[in-house]
Every structure is written in C-alpha cells, then in structure tokens.
C-alpha cells in the first residue's frame, strides 16, 4: 500500500495530514497504482534554464511558464535566490538560523554551485566504489568506473530523484561478466556539483553535459547503455544525435515525450514534486521499493538540505509534455531518428510503475531495433526497476548482450 498525501496548501502538520484553516486536506490511499507518496509543501523556484545559448534561454522561458502554472507560489527569482544565499549569515557573520553550514562555489562563467561534503557518503551500504571525477562546463561530474572491460562498456545513467547508488544491485553482475560499467552522477545529483539556481538546468543542458562527459572516454569506441527515467530522456536524445557512439540500448521505464501528456501518473508526480516538504528522496523511493533505513539515508546523502536540490525540483518541470516546453522540437527529431534505428534494442520494463509503466508500447512501436528481441516485463516491477529487480535485470542484460555481440570495446 502506498499512502499519498495530495496537497497544495500552506501549513503542514505531519506525514499523512495537512491543514488549511484548521481542516484536514486529502489523504489518499493510493494502493498499488498510486505514484509516489508523502509529505507536503515547500519554498522553491519554478524557472528552467541554462545560461549559455539562445536555445537554452528560450527553453528557460518556456519552462518557467509551464512550471509557474503548477506552483506559482513557489516561484522565486534569481535575485531572491541570491538574497537567500546572503541570509546564510547574520550581520555579525554568524551562522543564520535554519541553514546548514556550506560553501558556495562559482564557475568561471559565474554559475553558483554547491558540492556535497564527502563525509555524507561514508559507509554507504553495498556501494563501496571509488568515485572518479571529470570537469564538464566548469562543474565537477562524478562517476563510478568498474569492471575489466573484456566485454562491452555500459553507460548506466540514473534518473530522478536518485543517483549512481541506484545501480548497486546491477554493477556486480555486469562486471563479473566482463563488462566495464560507467555510472555517472548527473549534474545536480550524487557527488556531482549542484548549481543552486534552478535556471541553471535545462533538458538541452543535461544532454550537452552528458555529451561532454562521454568525450572524456576516448578509449571507448562504442557504448552500450541502460536507459531509465531521465537517464533515458538524456541518453536517447544523445543516441539520436550521435548514433555512431552507441551499439546496443536497453530501455527500462523511460520516455521520450514531444509535447504531449505522459498521463495522469506523471501529471500527479509533476505537481507533487513541487509541493513536497521536505523532499525526502529516500522515503519517496521507499514507497515504491523496499529499502532499509541505511539505504534510504544513502539516497538522501547528496542533499544535506533544500539548497542542494535545485535540479531535483526542476527535473520534473523540464519533461516536455506541452507544446510550450523546451526540447519539443529536439525530441521530435530524436524520435524520427529512432524510428529508423535498426541496431538491437531491448526492453526490461517494470509494469507496476504508475508514472511510466504504460509507455513500453511507445518504444516497441517506434524503434525497429526492438523487433524480435527477448523483452522482459517485470510485474511487480516499480519505476525504480534497478533497485526493485536489479539482479534479474542485470542477468537479462548479460545474457542478451552475449547474444547480440555486446563484447565490443
């Protein structure tokens, strides 16, 4: 059972109830079909962008209109973000009440960002992997690099609101089969740097960051990739724009929208993502999969407080589900490329996902490379399929890649 609090209110009492003028507003027993669950309401922004190009600026303006219509009372300007930053210390230079001590950095182009302290990542259960780092667009991007590489190199990008920790049940099986796995933390997540203003993030910007990230691996001739949630929205765009980079794709609970609704599950999640307070990633994910307290803490590790969560808040607003969103044209172009994609594509899909679980048919109809492949559909199998059925999912990848030639460099 998933308990979902449906709230667009001003005052929160506790988990499971919210009060407006003394009356309780909406606790819904969502059952197995409900999306995520949880708490309620916060401050935060609603503008979307990245600062460098005209297309990204246009995406910012469209995203601001779309998210502003969802949660206008959360919108705050960059100047307000700066005021909050200045409020970290009082006039005597002492720590302001209610703020966690932190250091705000800035890129050479003036983008302010935070870097999660490393001690937040100590003693992570089942994730004792050494982090590596590269620079993309003036920001530090973290990743895990494991496995001998005698088989293929597999890109494992995560989605919202997770980080590379999501792949802890997948990495061992893939590496034991000889694959090298590269598990990046997207900018704004995990150990990667986190621009503090929501205007730093756009869909186009994330695709560019991933492209620059892959540029650091000159030794990798072609990649295999597992695409889930935003890991798919980003990687499928990149595969369509740079098809020579990718040999085999595995899709799991992702989407490639181009200006149309993804359905009521995503619409609910979109609104909820702007109103949760606090935004407890571990608790949120534990409503879909069974997690220990230590695992929940691991999902929360990248985010000491709300100031680190600009991308977590912004990501749902960037999904192009209306004609006014940024990246509608780019996703339409990507879908045109994928409609002629004949390289092998496998679906490993969770059918119990109320947000994206119904979208497997979209890819089966769109991509010729899915024809006659041994797709597997896990039921139960949640949105966070890597955590829910990680071991059998990884075994299915290994078996399939062995049959389609997943032993390239």
pLDDT digits (tens, 9 = 90+) for 208-228: 999 999 999 999 999 999 999
Which pTM value belongs to this model? Answer: 0.80
**Residues 26, 65 within the same domain:** no
Q: Specify if 278 maps to a domain.
A: no
The CATH number for 81's domain is 3.40.50.1820
Same domain, 19 and 66: no
The reported pLDDT for the residue numbered 408 is 64
Give a yes or no: residue 369 inside a domain.
yes
Q: What is the pLDDT of residue 102?
A: 75
Q: Identify whether the C-beta of residue 190 lies closer than 8 Å to the C-beta of residue 164.
A: yes
pLDDT of residue 380: 87
Neighbours of 330 (CB within 10 A): 19
Give the tens place of pLDDT for each residue, 31-51. Answer: 333 333 332 223 333 333 333
Strand ranges in 179-300 using DSSP code E only, listed in sequence order: 180-184, 194-195, 223-227, 246-251
- Largest distance between two CA atoms of the chain: 69
- Considering the domain architecture, whether residues 381 and 255 belong to the same structural domain is answered as yes
In a domain, 269, yes or no: no
116 in the same domain as 15 = no
Residue 38 placed within a domain: no
Same-domain check for residues 118 and 25: no
Tell me the two tokens of residue 407: 């032993």
Cα angle 174, 187, 275; round to 5 = 105
The per-residue pLDDT for 22 is: 25
Question: Rounded to whole angstroms, how far apart are CA atoms 140 and 187?
Answer: 8
Per-position b or e across 263-289, b if 16+ CB within 10 A of its CB: bebbebbbbbbbbbbbbbbbbbbbbbb
Number of structural domains the chain divides into: 2
pLDDT at 67: 57
Q: Phi/psi of residue 131, each to 5°?
A: -80, 145
Task: Give a yes or no: residue 309 inside a domain.
Answer: yes
- 252 and 322 in a single domain? The answer is yes
Could you give the percent of the chain with pLDDT greater than 70? 74
- 302 part of a folded domain: yes
Give the closest residue to 126 by CA, choosing from 387, 397, 304: 387
Q: Which residue numbers are catalytic?
A: 229, 353, 383
How far is C-alpha 89 from the chain's CA centre?
A: 32
Cβ neighbours around 209 below 10 Å, total: 22
What digits encode the pLDDT tens for the residues 335-364? Answer: 999 999 999 999 999 999 999 999 999 999
Q: pLDDT value at position 12?
A: 30
326 and 234 within one domain: yes
Whether residues 175 and 323 share a domain: the answer is yes
Inside any domain, residue 377? yes
Which domain does 21 fall in, by range?
3-33
* Same domain membership, residue 29 and residue 58: no
Residue 228 inside a domain? The answer is yes
Predicted confidence at residue 405, as pLDDT, reads: 83
Residues 17 and 121 in one domain: no
12 and 160 housed in the same domain: no
Regions of the chain with pLDDT less than 50: 1-54, 56, 60-66, 68-77, 79-100
Question: Are 303 and 357 contained in the same domain?
Answer: yes
């Amino acid at each position: 059972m998933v308990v979902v609090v449906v709230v667009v209110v001003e005052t929160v009492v506790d988990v499971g109830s919210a009060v407006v003028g003394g009356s309780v507003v909406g606790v819904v027993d969502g059952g197995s079909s409900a999306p995520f669950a949880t708490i309620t309401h916060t401050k935060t922004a609603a503008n979307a962008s990245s600062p460098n190009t005209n297309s990204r600026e246009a995406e910012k303006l469209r995203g601001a209109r779309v998210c502003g219509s969802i949660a206008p009372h959360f919108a705050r300007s960059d100047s307000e973000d700066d005021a909050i930053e200045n409020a970290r210390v009082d006039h005597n230079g002492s720590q302001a009440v209610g703020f966690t001590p932190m250091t705000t950095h800035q890129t050479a182009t003036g983008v302010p960002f935070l870097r999660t302290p490393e001690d937040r990542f100590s003693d992570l259960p089942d994730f004792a992997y050494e982090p590596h780092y590269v620079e993309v667009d003036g920001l530090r991007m973290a990743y895990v690099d494991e496995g001998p590489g005698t088989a293929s190199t597999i890109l494992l990008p995560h989605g919202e609101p997770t980080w590379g920790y999501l792949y802890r049940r997948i990495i061992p099986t893939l590496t034991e089969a000889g694959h090298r796995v590269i598990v990046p933390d997207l900018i704004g997540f995990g150990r990667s740097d986190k621009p503090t203003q929501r205007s730093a993030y756009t869909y186009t910007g994330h695709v560019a960051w991933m492209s620059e990230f892959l540029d650091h691996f000159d030794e990798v001739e072609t990649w295999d990739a597992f695409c889930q949630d935003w890991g798919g929205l980003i990687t499928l765009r990149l595969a369509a724009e740079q098809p020579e980079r990718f040999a085999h794709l595995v899709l799991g609970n992702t989407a490639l929208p181009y200006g149309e609704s993804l359905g009521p599950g995503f619409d609910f999640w979109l609104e909820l993502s702007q109103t949760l307070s606090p935004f407890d990633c571990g608790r949120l994910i534990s409503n879909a999969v069974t997690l220990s307290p230590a695992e929940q803490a691991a999902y929360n590790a990248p985010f000491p407080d709300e100031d680190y969560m600009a991308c977590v808040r912004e990501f749902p607003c960037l999904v192009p589900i209306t004609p006014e969103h940024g990246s509608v044209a780019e996703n339409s172009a990507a879908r045109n490329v994928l409609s002629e994609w004949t390289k092998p594509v496998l679906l490993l899909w969770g059918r119990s996902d109320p947000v994206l679980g119904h979208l497997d048919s979209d890819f089966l109809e769109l991509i010729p490379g899915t024809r006659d492949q041994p797709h597997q559909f896990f039921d139960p199998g949640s949105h966070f399929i890597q955590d829910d059925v990680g071991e059998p999912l990884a075994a299915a990848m290994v078996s399939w890649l062995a049959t389609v030639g997943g032993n390239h460099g």
